Amino acid sequence: MAYRVALQPESFLCFPPVRSKRNARSPRVSMASSIRSSSAIKVETPKKPFIPHEDFLPDCSSEAFYDEVKELRERSKEIPDDYFVCLVGDMVTEEALPTYQTMLNTLDGIRDETGASLTSWAIWTRAWTAEENRHGDLLNKYLYLSGRVDMKQIEKTIQYLIGSGMDPRTENNPYLGFIYTSFQERATFISHGNTARLAKERGDLKLAQICGIIASDEKRHETAYTKIVEKLFEIDPDDTVIAFADMMKKKISMPAHLMYDGRDDNLFEHFSAVAQRLGVYTAKDYADILEFLVTRWKVGDLTGLSEKGNKAQDFICNLAPRIRRLEERAHGRAKKAPTVPFSWIFDREVQQ
């Protein structure tokens, strides 16, 4: 049986996409050419899209700029180094955005064929990229103004990371691709939410707002991608549950797992260990996200699956408890980790 997914992904975005006069009608596109349906997906958009320089950064055209920067630097003095390691790691991850747009454009049936294509998928991907772009912009400018971090080393890391790319093993398949992005958007929502909470606990309310507004963008993106996968479960449950199991067997790789600063060959592991210790993003979060998605997509309730689909369903539904057990065992065996220097903070040592 053939289906057709007709989605209006641009309705997830803050900014209404620019419409060409050549095509004022919302285009409806088929996905993976074998899927048919006709419902549109809507999510709430915020009342006012945020502009980093207008809402969260000192205004560089104002007389008050120097005082505002001074104030920002006073506040950031109270923030410990390990927090900055997490914030820089998050910022570097955001700054490798060209890699993520490229990844979306590898997916069959949804890629932007011309670079300015008017299909809904292409419009969505470009507007999503525009929203994501302000995350790296905002964090980068904040960190630069704080004076607490080595921007030369950070810029090097970003260049290396974009140069390295990533392979999320989604194999040009939009089923795998949207399961991956659902997972990753929730992971970034959690991570930015935690840096917001920690900034607040350390008394920097402005920084808490910055991380919080980025987290709220990620939440909307999570909603969009999980709705797309929800639709796939509705119209093609067998292939979707098999794709979900396939993605989880491969493990969801973190977008910045190839990060390098020209010095530390294990930079990503070291950054991840600090994020784990501070509770910014942890192994428990990985299991929690999986569990959330299993519930969100009602994977346990699927019926009428093929034998392969049933096996995939069993695998998925039992995976989060297994990850938790392994994690608890590893935690029990863990010894106190050494400190490691991070070039991002002028080689100061941070506890792993």
Known binding-site residues for Fe cation equal 94, 132, 135, 185, 218, 221
Q: Is 134 in the site for Fe ion (CB under 5 A)?
A: no
Considering beta carbons, is residue 93 or 120 the nearer one to Fe ion?
A: 93
Q: Which stretch binds Fe ion (CB under 5 A): 34-42, 43-51, 67-75, 220-228?
A: 220-228
**Nearest-approach distance from CB 33 to Fe ion, in angstroms:** 27
Transcribe 119-157 into DSSP letters: SHHHHHHHHHHHHHHHHHHHHHHHHHHH--S-HHHHHHH
Q: Which stretch binds Fe ion (CB under 5 A): 36-44, 51-59, 219-227, 318-326?
A: 219-227
- CB under 8 A, 24+ apart: contacts of 55-59: 55/213, 56/138, 56/142, 56/206, 56/209, 56/210, 56/213, 57/138, 57/141, 57/142, 57/145, 58/145
Within 8 A by CB and 6+ apart from 252, the residues are: 168, 180, 183, 184, 187, 286
Tell me the two tokens of residue 117.
Answer: 């294509």
Considering beta carbons, is residue 187 or 243 the nearer one to Fe ion?
A: 187
**Nearest-approach distance from CB 76 to Fe ion, in angstroms:** 21
Considering beta carbons, is residue 125 or 343 the nearer one to Fe ion?
A: 125
Q: Taking CB under 5 A as the rule, which mask of x and - marks residues 163-202 in contact with Fe ion?
A: ----------------------x-----------------
Pick the binder of Fe ion from 132, 137, 236, 246 (CB under 5 A): 132
Q: Is 218 in the site for Fe ion (CB under 5 A)?
A: yes
Q: Which stretch binds Fe ion (CB under 5 A): 40-48, 75-83, 87-95, 168-176?
A: 87-95
Pick the binder of Fe ion from 126, 134, 219, 221 (CB under 5 A): 221
Q: What is the dihedral of CA 80, 209, 196, 9, to 10 degrees?
A: -140
Helix (H) or strand (E) holding 339: strand 339-342
Pick the binder of Fe ion from 111, 126, 134, 135 (CB under 5 A): 135
Considering beta carbons, is residue 148 or 221 the nearer one to Fe ion?
A: 221
Q: Which stretch binds Fe ion (CB under 5 A): 63-71, 135-143, 245-253, 335-343?
A: 135-143
Cα(236)–Cα(175) distance, integer angstroms: 10
3-class secondary structure, 349: strand
Q: Which stretch binds Fe ion (CB under 5 A): 203-211, 215-223, 233-241, 281-289?
A: 215-223
Considering beta carbons, is residue 253 or 352 the nearer one to Fe ion?
A: 253
Within 8 A by CB and 6+ apart from 37, the residues are: 3, 4, 5, 6, 231, 234, 235
88-117 binders of Fe ion (CB under 5 A): 94
C-alpha triplet 75, 78, 79: angle, nearest 5°: 100
Closest residue by Cα to residue 9 from 32, 33, 26, 34: 26
Binding residues for Fe ion, rule: CB under 5 A, are 94, 132, 135, 185, 218, 221
